[in-house]
Structure 1
Amino acid sequence: MLASTALVCLMVPGLALFYGGMVAAKSVINMIMMTFGAVALVGCIWVVYGYSASFGDSMGGAGILGDVTEFFGLSGVIKDDPKATIPLSVFAAFQALFAALTAALICGAISDRIKFGAWMAFTGIWVTLVYLPVAHWVFAFDGDDVVGGWIVNELGAIDFAGGTAVHINAGAAALAMILVLGKRIGWQKGTERPHNVPLAMLGAGLLWFGWFGFNGGSALTSSNAASVVVLNTFTATCSAMLGWLLVEKLRDGHPTSLGAASGAIAGLVAITPACGAVSPVGALVLGAIGGAVCALAVGLKYKFGYDDSLDVVGIHLVGGLTGTLLIGILATSDAPNGVDGLLYGGGLSLLGKQAVGALAVLAYSFSVTWLIAKALDKTMGLRVRPEVEQEGVDVHLHAENAYDLAHSPATAPTPEPAAAG
């Protein structure tokens, strides 16, 4: 668990570089700052009341929200419990990164146009009102004299590592924020091209590496279950990359490196809820479907006119929905979750549970996020001034540039040749 926590922590710079490489050069610092800023703020909230709200005993036994006073300040998790399988302290740190990364995912949809202060305010409110309740629904199992969340316990839906709580949650929130914030100036006029594709590829590779801790660590034990999860995570990512590239080849005539990176992330998203429910062949199928569906879904923003800057909706919302629902079809009782889906004789019951859980998280996250964004827009204002957006948020919001081109050798004046003799 300590190693898995470290792996998940590496996903923070991975996400920052993945997002940073896909925006314009004048916005890369802001993209990295929004990622790291969200992680820092959520980490502090997690210590004070976040862990307790997510994993405390459900208030009133309703399965909606944990008791925010039970682990307030995390003072109760640092005492050694000889009965615990793993120390609560490492579990708290592991789950803190889940919360932080979920919030950070949203910023990729709204790049180039949001105030940094407004983003930080939104992050704190959103984690409190949206992520913490949803995490309780999905991740808080019932225990001895402890009541957990309604989706995992009463409904019985499967979400091994966060297809609903992380990806559908962040994707639905991103869509709500996009609709409130509006489109970038010059959107669809060629101004939104990535400035550094190798940087984005490096970020995707770091995310893939860290995702083994994200999914594997969710087994909470070094066991066969964790090993199967890691195998399925790798397998689905490979097939998803090929699925995305195939769509690009058939649709556009050429596969792209950015498509390969995006396909890998789509596969990681899709397998996250299903990594403990399917066989390796099932992971291949799920990944290929997830990669192809997400590749097609990213084009919906042009059809419906919403400016999802870095395809958070197309990859995380659609990929999370795809993986969550396919559990109901591809799950096998031979896998760690031990439940059969439709193709293995399990009927439609599991698919129905998956659909209810996914739609509940989608509806709650979208509606509450929209209200939060509207409230912030009416009070402090969300969007930067048009001249700030056009000149670049990096220099205006952070007084920095990613690249010091004025003093680079390539742009330095050529010295005069020495006089003969």
Structure 2
Amino acid sequence: MKRKYFLATILLALSATTLFINNDITKQAIVNTKKFDTGDTAWMIVASALVLLMTPGLGFFYGGMVGKKNVISTMLQSFMAMVIVSVLWVIIGFGLSFGESIYGIIGNPSKNIFFNNVGINSAWELAPTIPLLLFALFQAKFAIITPALITGAFAERIRFWAYLLFMVLFIIFIYTPLAHCTWHPNGIFFKMGILDFAGGIVVHMSAGWAALAGAMFLGKRKNQKTSPARITYVLLGTGLLWFGWFGFNAGSALGANGLAVQALSTTTIAAASASMAWVFWDKILGHKISAMGACIGAVVGLVAITPAAGYVSMPHAIFIGIVSSIISNIVVLNFPKGKIDDALDVFGCHGVGGMVGMLLTAVFASKAINPAIENQGLFFGETKLFINHVIVLIIVSVFSFVMSYFLFYLVNKITPLRVSSEKEELGLDITQHGEFL
């Protein structure tokens, strides 16, 4: 009963607060649409929708991999990320990520609470051809999918309420500082010249290290040898992810321009080459070419090209796809599953893929592809970018893992993270949601 009253109080307080927030849209006169590019605006609306599609795609991708009695719960974890993070982003997440910089580490959310001063008559300084509101909504989709990625690591054993609480804390204390440091013009990583075109650091590294922390904190499942419920779901999810990833990467050009085309092309070829490399590597090792392998390989390639998409050439994108796929395959095969139960290999695919992609961005980044960058990659004889990427990789890895582990510890003190052995045996679909396939 106390939980019900608490939740009711939150909903009433949230509803009441919105009545006293004067969003800048209500203050605006007729918008001068000539200041924005209609083509850029149209493309970014589409890109925002594409990125959102990735999260239900991830739900199918993960849902098909778990046991039959945990499919609904696993997919719902992704769906609820769309619900909870959307609200959280409007209230405070955008301001923490892109508000006025505080020492280059975090944004000041005071001016943008409930999207106050985030409207259709102003623009983000690095995206001057589209409304600020559209930029904010595009960025919301990145925040949505990041905690959803983590769920694959602790699949089949986490209490749903505890997951929701962790998700809120993760966005506030891990995602938003990394987004600010990396993508805000006054962020400390941005000023170092760090290149993260669409989220290798902010999305995939943070999720990968949080996944490892979660797998370690929650411990092993009682039964780690469950058969995938629906491999067809995995294929469908991969298709949706790949399709949506064009918005993820090409949309990060923030306009309908040549850079978007370049990012779309490198995304395509990296995913294809990574999928090919994964199944070929499996065959070399004496395994059968599997649908699961082809899908996982494609996703690893998409992860690895994310930080590099707008900075590298097509041949280099192929190299990134192949190398990241083989490295992730090796990590997954040799991961100590008997000690750490990363159920769906989130760290091996997203964490490792993100780190490999980040480092290879610093190897192959080229001014011929993107003249806006200050320093080229190691391949072109310059070392500054690569050294800075190594430094930031270490910082982000330590921060994401340690902070995530602390948040899991904190949530567990507030409400137990793990279901009981009996409920785990019955499955989370029926015990957490009262539903089953």
Q: TM-score, normalised by structure 2?
A: 0.87
For 1:321, which of 355, 360, 364 is the aligned residue? 355
Amino acid paired to 2:323: I
Q: Distance in 1 between matches of 2:198 and 2:365?
A: 15
Amino acid paired to 2:254: L
Q: TM-score, normalised by structure 1?
A: 0.90
For 1:136, which of 169, 175, 180 is the aligned residue? 180
Match of 1:171 in 2: 208
Percent same amino acid at aligned positions? Answer: 39
Contact 1:235 1:284 (8 Å CA) reproduced: yes
Q: Partner of 1:117: helix, strand, or coil?
A: helix
Which digits, 9 at most, give the CA deviation of each residue in 1:57-81, with x for residues without a partner?
A: 112xx10000110211102112413
Q: Partner of 1:299: helix, strand, or coil?
A: helix
Correspondence 1:286 to 2:320: yes
Correspondence 1:97 to 2:141: yes
Match of 2:74 in 1: 31
Q: Distance in 1 between matches of 2:415 and 2:428?
A: 18
Q: Partner of 2:100: helix, strand, or coil?
A: coil
Contact 1:164 1:357 (8 Å CA) reproduced: no
The verdict on how the C-alpha distance between 1:122 and 1:303 changes in structure 2, with shifts beyond 3 A counting, is closer
Q: CA deviation at 1:303?
A: 5.9
Which digits, 9 at most, give the CA deviation of each residue in 1:99-134, with x for residues without a partner?
A: 010011101111100000000011111111111111
Amino acid paired to 2:89: W
Match of 2:242 in 1: 208
For 1:80, which of 121, 132, 139 is the aligned residue? 121
Could you tell me which runs of 5 or more consecutive residues in structure 2 were left unpaired when the two chains were aligned. Answer: 1-43
Amino acid paired to 1:63: G
The verdict on how the C-alpha distance between 1:304 and 1:160 changes in structure 2, with shifts beyond 3 A counting, is farther
Runs of 4+ deviating beyond 3 Å: none
Correspondence 1:114 to 2:150: no
Correspondence 1:377 to 2:418: no
Query: Which region of structure 1 is more displaced relative to structure 2, 223-232 or 369-378?
Result: 369-378
Q: Distance in 2 between matches of 1:286 and 1:333?
A: 18
Match of 2:306 in 1: 272
Q: Partner of 2:336: helix, strand, or coil?
A: helix
Q: Partner of 1:77: helix, strand, or coil?
A: coil
Correspondence 1:256 to 2:290: yes
Query: Which region of structure 1 is more displaced relative to structure 2, 354-363 or 122-131?
Result: 354-363
Correspondence 1:15 to 2:58: yes
Match of 2:85 in 1: 42
The verdict on how the C-alpha distance between 1:271 and 1:9 changes in structure 2, with shifts beyond 3 A counting, is same
Q: Distance in 2 between matches of 1:27 and 1:327?
A: 37
Match of 1:231 in 2: 265
Q: CA deviation at 1:15?
A: 0.5
The verdict on how the C-alpha distance between 1:334 and 1:304 changes in structure 2, with shifts beyond 3 A counting, is farther
Q: Distance in 1 between matches of 2:299 and 2:200?
A: 13
Match of 1:353 in 2: 388
Amino acid paired to 2:194: A
Q: Distance in 2 between matches of 1:356 and 1:156?
A: 12
Amino acid paired to 2:235: M
Q: Partner of 1:387: helix, strand, or coil?
A: helix
For 1:344, which of 362, 380, 383 is the aligned residue? 380
Q: CA deviation at 1:262?
A: 0.2
Q: Distance in 2 between matches of 1:304 and 1:158?
A: 36
Higher alpha-carbon Rg: 1
Q: Distance in 2 between matches of 1:97 and 1:37?
A: 13
Match of 1:144 in 2: none
Q: Partner of 1:2: helix, strand, or coil?
A: helix
Match of 1:66 in 2: 107
Q: CA deviation at 1:360?
A: 1.5
Q: Partner of 1:69: helix, strand, or coil?
A: helix
Q: Distance in 2 between matches of 1:103 and 1:313?
A: 13
Q: CA deviation at 1:304?
A: 6.7
Q: CA deviation at 1:381?
A: 0.8
CA RMSD between the two structures: 1.4
Q: CA deviation at 1:343?
A: 1.7
Q: Distance in 1 between matches of 2:409 and 2:320?
A: 37
Q: Distance in 1 between matches of 2:182 and 2:111?
A: 19
Could you tell me which runs of 5 or more consecutive residues in structure 1 were left unpaired when the two chains were aligned. Answer: 142-147, 403-421
Match of 2:20 in 1: none
Match of 2:189 in 1: 151
